[in-house]
Chains A and B, each alone.
Chain A
């Protein structure tokens, strides 16, 4: 089979594209988008229910929808898309054939079957146990079985990716070291293997327990190992979407990393330290020492956070350097003002970067501080944080690169360009609102995963402050905006993939526009001549916001009852 691998040459990039890899990228991306649509719809229902004035679903449907929402978007959409990213970053970027295409299809099949089985289990109504499925609350066996099959499929995909790297190296399909984007994908895949192993270690016994074959699963043990999967899988997302940022910067601006060494070291920090994050979920649990909590929750003295802060400078910095090399040198921000804001790939990528850093990054570190977690654990602050990281960060970045993949991989012209142009703004601002208002409500104490914040049916009365109700109303409004943005994305992408005009064999797509000069800004000069004052200013603002917000929360903490 290896010798018969077929290729086409991409007229835009000159890359040799393996046709099997291309089919796999298409299949994974299409299924990903379908689950994004399903999961997004459940998300909208959840937000409408938590909007006090609307309170849309009855309680049992609310908990069902919330379980399905978490599974379909946090796990299924993102991992399917990540498989597409892995095949793209290996086979396509390295001009290589795919190692074991049959294995890749097997993995894809297992993931699809697993996702469907788990979804059916949830929809049957006996498995409304939330995405986390904490024991001793029990779901139907097929709930766990589906996730396990899905995870095994994803694991196979990771090994096909690693195999493809080996094939590319042996067959000398590229010169020198692998591209930075591929390096980022390697990071994601390594973390994925760790993640899936954690999932298997805990979900297999839990499946046996739900079948009655094992009598007891310790809830603390479950939670510690489950979050080895649950949180680490979000670190796959971080690695993948940072790789996507670099990829979009390269494709739209021809941007070159400021320093390959620095950017790769930052990814290495992820591999070494991100897995410690299970501890973020164990800060107020019984049975852990403070030494354990502090070391783990800080990723060993914040070394993984260091990695993200480095990317936070090098990604916009590489764009600024590329723009300045092209002559946009006036003042601090001409490079940014004259960036292609009407190109949805760039707009989505840049908003993803800003929201991930300012909203998701800062809130995550603050919430993950051992003592500060006391005033945030399991409040709406938590989903506020991770909607900034996973939705405004990962999902928006993945949407952004889809606008480039449709013409380049699916070979179709993008339809509904005006809609596409507005989509990242609608979705990005909607999600930023969701994140902010949920964090606001969480600061006021509102519980997450809760059907009725008025406590109308409770035996004892309690009222949240009025401001909390306002926050949840605003959350609902911004959720509608985000859902509209999501819907437009689905319409544009599905429409283009199935009905867009087919591009001719040697035809370059006309949209999204890639500036004619985007052909690599091959060289920035020496390290002494790199000028990125605008980025330095942005990073400075970020740093000040980070420091202020961090200490404000220590102040909040110091005001609660003394406890020891």
Chain B
């Protein structure tokens, strides 16, 4: 029994039943398939993180974002500047208690280098209803190259707990034709 010492003293020399061997082999091969699937997707898939990231101070990141806001704000909405940066440009999104700042307006099928960083605690960038979820840290500038392939209005929910106002932290991204 499993709660008593093995009945065969030399248990490591007992042969293994065929059915167990077959299952071990199947499970092992399946593991390899899943492992190489991730590598394969880096070549063949369109959804991969570049892992490009830099150390940055919150002050410096805020300055860069402000420069973009000053240059490309097209209107304001609920007190938020709506920024329409040129396609292919560096785009900054500030995460702070409890706002995503500013509102971005992007063009469909154009790619943007989106920079994400936090001014204070950790936040979670959760683009809805697309469902892209990326962690945002203070002190790190993470660069994600995004190419919106549908037009519309998208929400940015914070999905990392960031204190009592966490559930009010919602941002917005417009994608226009």
Contact = CB atoms under 8 A, between A and B. Distances in A.
Nearest to A450: B167
A349 interface: no
A246 B41 CA distance: 39
Interface string A168-181: 00000011111111
Interface string B134-154: 110111111011111110000
A285 B142 CA distance: 8
B134 A306 contact: no
A1 B111 CA distance: 74
Contact of A369 (B34, B42, B139, B147): B34
Interface of A: 13, 59-60, 63, 93, 128, 130, 134, 136-137, 174-181, 218-220, 246-247, 249-251, 254-263, 284-290, 294, 298, 301-303, 305-306, 309-310, 313-314, 317-318, 365, 369-371, 373-379, 443-445, 447-452, 455, 457-465, 520, 522-523, 526-528, 530, 532, 536, 539, 543, 546-547, 550, 554, 557-558, 560-564
A96 to B, nearest CB: 13
Instruction: Bin chain B's interface residue count.
Output: 35 or more
Contacts of B71: none
B35 A298 contact: yes
Interface stretch (B59-67, B87-95, B124-132): B124-132
Contacts of A93: 3-4
A143 B14 CA distance: 51
A563 B167 contact: no
A301 B32 contact: yes
B82 to A, nearest CB: 11
A346 to B, nearest CB: 15
Given A249-B2, A458-B169, A561 B147 contact: yes
A395 B84 CA distance: 51
A134 B140 CA distance: 15
A181 to B, nearest CB: 5
25 contacts: A59-B164, A136-B122, A137-B121, A179-B5, A247-B3, A250-B2, A257-B2, A258-B20, A289-B51, A298-B35, A305-B27, A306-B24, A371-B41, A375-B131, A376-B133, A378-B133, A379-B126, A445-B157, A451-B166, A460-B78, A462-B128, A526-B15, A527-B14, A554-B37, A561-B147
A134 B139 CA distance: 14
A259 B135 contact: no
A66 to B, nearest CB: 8
Contact of A303 (B31, B47, B130, B170): B31
Interface centre among B9, B28, B49, B147 (most CB of A within 10 A): B49
A59 B133 contact: no
Contacts of B17: 258-259, 527-528, 530
Given A374-B49, A379-B131, A527 B16 contact: yes
B172 to A, nearest CB: 5
A563 B146 contact: yes
A259 B14 contact: yes
Per DSSP, are chain A's interface residues mostly helix, strand or loop, or mixed? loop
A524 B124 CA distance: 54
Interface string B92-106: 000000010001000
B132 to A, nearest CB: 6
Contacts of B148: 561
A443 B128 CA distance: 11
Q: Which 4 residue pairs are nearest across A and B when measured between Cβ atoms? A: A302-B31, A462-B155, A286-B53, A286-B142
A460 B8 CA distance: 69
Interface centre among A134, A249, A447, A464 (most CB of B within 10 A): A447
B48 interface: yes
A294 B27 CA distance: 18
A122 B148 CA distance: 42
Contacts of B121: 134, 136-137
A254 B1 contact: yes
A374 B133 contact: yes
Contacts of A530: 17, 19
Nearest to A292: B51
B2 A255 contact: yes
Nearest to A518: B1
A119 B169 CA distance: 28
A299 to B, nearest CB: 9
B4 A520 contact: yes
B137 A286 contact: yes
Nearest to B124: A378
B145 A563 contact: yes
Contact of B4 (A179, A461, A539, A550): A179
A313 B25 CA distance: 13
Given A445-B128, A543-B30, 6 more contacts: A180-B6, A256-B1, A309-B27, A450-B157, A450-B167, A459-B168
A376 B135 CA distance: 12
Nearest to B141: A286
Interface string B62-90: 00000000000000011110000000000
Nearest to B20: A262
